[in-house]
Structures are given as C-alpha cells and as structure tokens.
C-alpha cells in the first residue's frame, strides 16, 4: 500500500505531448518543470541545484544521484558560508565524481545564493538550509518554475506555514513536483505497518497514540573572534527559534507526522509543558531542552508527545498506537495482541532517506507529479502548535495557532552577515527565552 498523495499518471506519450506544448510556450509562460523538461530534449539527465550545504543537504544531493533510470547531475550549489559549500562539494564529489558538474562559476555564496542557483540551468532544486528560510526559498523556487525537494520542517512559525501553503497552490497550477523530507512515509516497513493498522484494522479502533524523540541533543559551535552576532546565530541555527523552530519542530516533526499520517488529520487542541532544565547556558540560545504535549484530534483521540535533549536519560525515537484489539509499535513494525503476544512483524525495508529519492525520481521519469507540500506544511504546523502550547503553558486551538500573525523574523531582508540579528541579546548577555504563563505565542 502507498500512503503518498495522489499524483497525475498520464502515459509517457501523452506526457511528452503535454511537455512539448509547454516547451513551446515557455517563452511566455515561465520555466519548465522537472517532469516537463526531463525527456523532451532527448536526454534522461535531470539537473539538480543544492541550496544549503550542511549535512542534510549534502546527504540529499548524494541520495538524489544514487537513483537509477537515468543520470542525475548536480550542477549548482549555494550556501551563506563558503566553508560549508566547499566541504559539501568535496563530500559529494567523492561519492559521485563525474556526476558532479558544479564549477567555480556555479558555486554561489551569500544570502542571495539561492537566487543564483535558481537562475542556473537546473530542473530541480534541493532546499536544505535552516528551516527559517524555507518559506522564502520555496516561494522563489515555485516562482522560477523549478521542482522542489525540501527538507522538513518547512517553516518555523505560522506565517511561514501559510506562505508555503499559498506557494504550493501555484506549484500545483504549474504542475511542479514537490517532495518534503518526511522520509518515514516512503519507508516500506512503515507503509506495511500502516496498512495493517489502517486498512486491515489489526489493532481495532485507535484510542491512544504516543511518540518520542528523546535523545542527548546536538552540537554547539563556540563563538569565534570577530564573528558578528548574525553569523553566530546562523552557525548555531539549531538554538534559535527563527532559524530552527525548536527541536520539537526540527526533529520531533518526524514522529508527529507519523501520528498525523495514522490519524489522517491534524490535532484541534494542544496543551503541554517544557523548559530548559540542563541546556540553559548562553551558548544554548533560546530553545527548550524538553517538551511534553497532549494533542487532541477532532474525534477525541489523544496523542501524547515527548521530546527531550538531556543526556543520561531514557532515550527513544519511536511512535506507538493503542487500539481496542491490540497495540502497535509503529516504528518497530510490530503489532501485539491485548495480552502482549506478537501477532505480526514487518519484513519491509528501512532506509527512508534513500527511498524518498528513489520514489521521487521514479515518479518524475514516469511523468508523475508528486506533491507533498500540504501534509509537510501541516505537520510542521502541528510541531509549531505543540511549541506554542509548551512555551505559553496554555490550551491552544488549531485555528488560532495556524492563523497567528506572530512572525519570528523577517528573513527576506537579510542581505549580509553585518545585518542586525533577529534575536537581540539581553543586557546581561543572555538570550530572551520563553516563559510559560508569560510568553505570547499567538
């Protein structure tokens, strides 16, 4: 069973006919899409640009070129930091050699690097910068007529989510493919488990769900001499909400998305608690080190969500569902009877990060136009929704949350590292942090 959004499935002949018409009209209608441009010129080569050359962007570019059915070439790269770009280039070149067609003239550094990559001869763009920039970059990619693979989350605040949803309307009108890096939806083991729960009813009616991203946390990059405040925040993007959205948004979104997938929807209320128990130094920016959220779906089903970055504690990255006939360890691909006996176990493949690229490029070469932006945006909003609940300590309603006008930063007007940083230091040299009961989130 596939749980992916429905995609158009015209035959190759009709697809090419449609593409030829669009080629003829491209002078007045804008750039061609990847699916439209991949075949009409007598080549199966798909040209890719990369924006955001950190670990995930590097991995995504490598995985794109791992796909079969025709060549995938990386032809342009962009990042705000040249050292990140050069390190990524070396890593990708080491894996794929001649498939990397990037030259010095197609390596772009600075806040406008994404515009220069979009202006290159590419069919598709990979967006993998810190997520605070994702709405602006996605909007620009759609305007340029490029198909998109964008990493999760797709925003850090409600205005950003709405911007993505609006841009996606235009993407659909243009027939652009859009994939979001929520790779569990592409993993065979997850798909098989969802079939057993949702279609075969192996655990009965769902009465409770829970999910976790509890781990020891991530890196800290020390402040360097002569570093501007904006550069410091950019280098340590994980600890600033305008860039990251907190780890409930940047990491735990994977688990949250699985429960949304299971429930075929999104929660209507959220309340929770969190704080900075151990990760509370000046080098830890603004974000919490733990969150617990009780989400409630429209049918009354509860979802208990935990994420924590504290070392030497209980660790788990997993999703679970309890039903009237049994229990599912969704991430483990196992289903149990009420008495605890194992009744089914998946033998399906893992490796969703690679499989999502296999699926995307297979679809494109078949003339299909997948689009995952809506559920990617709404699962992002669910994560932000949870953050709103923990930061405020209040019961929050979905409609109020998604319609919030509270924007975390104006990234469109950042032009250089000498610009003022969106987050200002307090007089004592600390960063302003959320205070439940006091912080405004809507």
Total domain count for the chain? 2
Question: Per the domain annotation, does 291 fall within a domain?
Answer: yes
Give Cα separations from 174 to 43, 142, 171, 307 (angstroms): 22, 8, 5, 38
290 and 309 in contact (C-beta within 8 Å)?
yes
- Name the nearest CA neighbour of 72 among 22, 122, 110: 122
233 with 259, same domain: the answer is: yes
Written as one string, the DSSP assignment of 303-315 is EEEEEEE-TTS--
Give Cα separations from 90 to 75, 86, 292 (angstroms): 14, 6, 40
The parts of the chain modelled with pLDDT lower than 70 are: 1-43
252 with 310, same domain: the answer is: yes
146 with 221, same domain: the answer is: no
Tell me the pLDDT tens digit for each residue of 8-42. 444 333 433 334 334 333 333 344 444 444 443 23
106 with 63, same domain: the answer is: yes
Q: What is the pTM of this model?
A: 0.91
User: Would you state the pLDDT for residue 282?
Assistant: 86
308 with 289, same domain: the answer is: yes
Question: Per the domain annotation, does 236 fall within a domain?
Answer: yes
170 with 268, same domain: the answer is: no
DSSP 8-state symbol, 226: T
Burial class of residue 356, CB neighbours in 10 A (0-12, 13-18, 19+): buried
179 with 52, same domain: the answer is: yes
**Does residue 41 sit in helix, strand or coil?**
coil
Question: Per the domain annotation, does 423 fall within a domain?
Answer: no
Return the beta strands (E) in 297-429 as ranges: 302-309, 316-323, 327-329, 334-336, 342-345, 396-397
Please state, in angstroms and rounded to a whole number, the distance separating the CA atoms of residues 333 and 348: 8
CA dihedral 435, 437, 440, 442 (to 10 degrees): 130
Question: Per the domain annotation, does 387 fall within a domain?
Answer: yes
Q: What is the CATH number of the domain that holds 280?
A: 3.30.360.10
Q: What is the CATH number of the domain that holds 100?
A: 3.40.50.720
32 with 110, same domain: the answer is: yes
Question: Per the domain annotation, does 422 fall within a domain?
Answer: no
344 with 206, same domain: the answer is: yes
What range does the domain containing 94 cover?
12-184+355-371
212 and 255 in contact (C-beta within 8 Å)?
yes
């Amino acid at each position: 069973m596939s749980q992916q959004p429905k995609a158009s499935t015209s035959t190759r002949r009709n697809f090419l006919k449609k593409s030829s018409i669009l080629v003829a009209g491209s002078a007045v209608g804008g750039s061609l899409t990847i699916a439209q441009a991949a075949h009409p010129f007598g080549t199966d080569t798909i040209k890719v640009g990369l924006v955001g050359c950190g670990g995930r962007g590097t991995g995504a570019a490598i995985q794109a070129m791992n796909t079969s059915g025709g060549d995938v070439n990386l032809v342009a790269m962009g990042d705000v930091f040249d050292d990140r770009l050069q390190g990524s280039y070396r890593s990708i070149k080491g894996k794929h050699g001649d498939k990397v067609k990037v030259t010095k003239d197609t390596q772009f550094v600075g806040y406008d690097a994404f515009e220069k990559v979009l202006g290159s001869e590419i069919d598709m763009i990979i967006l993998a910068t810190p997520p605070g920039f994702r709405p602006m970059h996605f909007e620009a990619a759609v305007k340029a007529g490029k198909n998109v693979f964008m990493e999760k989350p797709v925003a850090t605040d409600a205005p950003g989510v709405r911007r993505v949803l609006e841009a996606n309307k235009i993407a659909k009108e243009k027939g652009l493919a859009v994939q979001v890096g929520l790779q569990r939806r592409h993993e065979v083991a997850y798909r098989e488990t969802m079939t057993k729960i949702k279609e075969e009813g192996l655990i009965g009616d769902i009465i409770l769900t829970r999910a976790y991203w509890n781990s020891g946390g991530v890196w800290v990059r020390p402040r360097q001499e002569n570093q501007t405040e904006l550069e410091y925040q950019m280098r340590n993007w994980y600890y600033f909400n305008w860039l990251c959205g907190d780890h409930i948004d940047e990491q735990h979104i994977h688990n949250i998305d699985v429960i949304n997938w299971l429930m075929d929807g999104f929660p209507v209320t959220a309340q929770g608690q969190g704080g900075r128990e151990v990760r509370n130094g000046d080098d830890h920016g603004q974000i919490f080190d733990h969150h617990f959220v009780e989400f409630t779906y429209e049918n009354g089903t509860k979802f208990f969500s935990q994420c924590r970055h504290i070392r030497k504690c209980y660790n788990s990255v997993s999703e679970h569902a309890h039903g009237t006939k049994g229990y599912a360890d969704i991430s483990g691909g196992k289903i149990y009877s009420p008495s605890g006996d194992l009744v089914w176990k998946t033998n399906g493949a893992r490796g969703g990060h690679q499989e999502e690229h296999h699926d995307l490029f297979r679809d494109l070469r078949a003339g299909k136009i997948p689009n995952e932006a809506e559920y990617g945006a709404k699962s992002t909003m669910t994560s932000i929704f949870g953050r709103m609940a923990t930061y405020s300590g209040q019961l929050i309603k979905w409609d109020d949350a998604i319609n919030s006008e509270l924007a975390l930063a104006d990234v469109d007007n950042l032009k250089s590292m000498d610009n003022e940083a969106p987050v200002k230091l307090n007089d004592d040299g600390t960063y302003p942090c959320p205070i439940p009961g006091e912080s405004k989130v809507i």
